[in-house]
Amino acid sequence: MFNYISDDGHGWLEVNLKEYPEANNHATGFGYLSMDGSKIYLEEDCEMSTFLRALGCTGFDSSLIREVRHYGNSPIRSFPHNSKQVSNA
């Protein structure tokens, strides 16, 4: 089960990095990292759908996703952006 977290202007899918280790190896970086670095929050307009398609989902499957609503701004907006670059070393 994944949490889909939304606020007044955007939404993110919360994914444990153990379930999606590729997120930390993405050349351009994407999503937002939790403060302890164990989870990534995938943006609804691109990264979330890519991840869900990789799982074989074709839409918003309520058996896999639970919605968590924030009014105002979600704390995710203050999390660091995942901008880790792939090293050539």
Condensed to tens digits (0 to 9), the pLDDT of residues 22-71 reads 776 654 456 888 878 888 898 888 788 888 887 877 666 667 889 999 99
CA distance 29 to 63: 29
CA distance 14 to 42: 7
Hey, which bits of 1-89 come out as E strands?
2-6, 11-16, 32-33, 39-43, 65-69
CA distance 43 to 39: 13
Quick one: average pLDDT of 73-87? Answer: 72
Domain map (residue ranges) of the chain: 2-78
pLDDT at 81 over 50: yes
Higher pLDDT, 47 or 12: 12
